Amino acid sequence: MASVSVDVFKYILKFLVRYNALNNLNARCLSKDSCDYARLTGPSVAEITNNPNLPFIDVGLTRYREPMLNETSGVWYFDLNIECELYNTDVVNFDAAWNFSKVASFISLMLGGAASMLTWFPSCYIFNRNVWRWAGYELLLATFFQSLTFVWFANGLCKTNDCQMAYGARADIIAASLWAIATLSILCKYPAVRSKHLDESGNRRQPPPTEVEMSNQQQSEERVTSDERSVTAQEII
């Protein structure tokens, strides 16, 4: 009964590693359209959009989106079917914090995406502990660089305006949390290697000693030789 419980725990742990890594990749790729990282309110809204009537806009690392006014209810809303607009570099200054955040976001996506795909390969291939360890290190670095993307809120635009986290920033928090859980799951407990060629430590098994089978002719010759020896011993006696 104890062995069954351990096996069930191992399967649950493997599922959580792959589920967290893959969902985290989905959160990074599908939740953000590069213009909903934060909500900007302040004097720079009119400068960026050339529209003094807009109360706020959604801004991202590379693009921004303008809201629309529902004339019936008087509520501002975002139409996600409208594409985001590029920043006017004459108005928006991409300072060091902004550029660093873009680089950190790209690195985290590359490392986390590669590690997330790697966690699903053992369904078809057998990996040893060293490969799993590198996958854990990739996820750890992805978590680190994902956290560094929030340096974006230290840019000059947010210093002169009000920047609040929007859907994209919240998705990054979820992504960093899922990558951190997957990292701890991999580094704390490696999946057991199941292969007839590898042992639990991932080392190649030593082949068992081969048994030499004698042919029938050799067995008959040895039998004749033993009979002759017994006859000779009887004659001597």
Find the CATH number of the domain harbouring 46: 1.20.140.150
Domain encompassing residue 135: 2-188
The total number of structural domains that make up the chain: 1
Q: Is residue 193 part of a domain?
A: no
Helix axes 2-30, 96-118, angle to 10 degrees: 140
**Quick check: 19 pLDDT over 60?**
no
* Gap between the Cα atoms of 14 and 22, Å rounded: 12
Q: Is residue 220 part of a domain?
A: no
Mean pLDDT of 175-179: 86
Q: Is residue 36 part of a domain?
A: yes
Residue 4 vs residue 125, higher pLDDT: 125
Q: Is residue 209 part of a domain?
A: no
* Gap between the Cα atoms of 203 and 126, Å rounded: 12
Looking at residue 97, what is its pLDDT? Answer: 95
Residue 156 vs residue 216, higher pLDDT: 156
**Quick check: 44 pLDDT over 90?**
yes
* Gap between the Cα atoms of 202 and 207, Å rounded: 15
Mean pLDDT of 130-148: 87
Q: Is residue 72 part of a domain?
A: yes
**Quick check: 98 pLDDT over 70?**
yes
